[in-house]
Amino acid sequence: MSEETEGRRPNPVDLHVGGRVRMRRKLLGVSQEQLADSLGLTFQQVQKYERGANRVSASKLYEIAKTLQVPVSFFFDGLADPMDGSDGDEIGQQAERIVQEFLTTPEGLELAEVFPKIGRGRVRRQVLDLVRAMAEEAHRAESAAA
């Protein structure tokens, strides 16, 4: 039985590793079904790994790294080093989470791919201002509805 079904929250390391699996899979344009097939799993198992609901064994993580063409260490990038005795850089970890959440959405991934192709900094700034204004408006509408 997974920790999630017992009402406990997934381990933060499992969440991080799963998020990195999802991000890399999406960057390569691989579906959960395709990854599952290459690993001899069901797509539901891949979903559970990506959500952090189930832990990925060392051997399975090795297979995932090979399939997604990254070193195993890729899945731990952004985690605090357990040997230095600190919790790491909280601001850096928060930034990593924001980027990860952004890149796990289809729209975020596409935007990340095409945004750098906008050659002029002024135009990129206008796009950012537009998105910021839209987000602020959505937040105001949500607050008014609550």
Give the H or E element holding residue 61: helix 58-68
Range of the domain at 43: 1-104
Within 69-120, residue ranges assigned H as helices are: 90-103, 106-114
What is the SS3 assignment for 27? helix
Res 65: pLDDT: 97
Examine the domain organization and report whether 75 and 136 are in the same domain: no
* Spatial distance between the Cα atoms of 29 and 103, rounded to a whole number of angstroms: 12
Examine the domain organization and report whether 146 and 86 are in the same domain: no
Examine the domain organization and report whether 18 and 49 are in the same domain: yes
How many domains does the structure of the chain reveal? 2
Average pLDDT per run of 10 along the chain, which is 146 residues long?
57 88 88 96 95 94 96 87 66 71 80 85 90 90 86
* Pair 10, 51: CB distance under 8 Å: yes
Q: CA gyration radius for the chain?
A: 18
Examine the domain organization and report whether 75 and 39 are in the same domain: yes
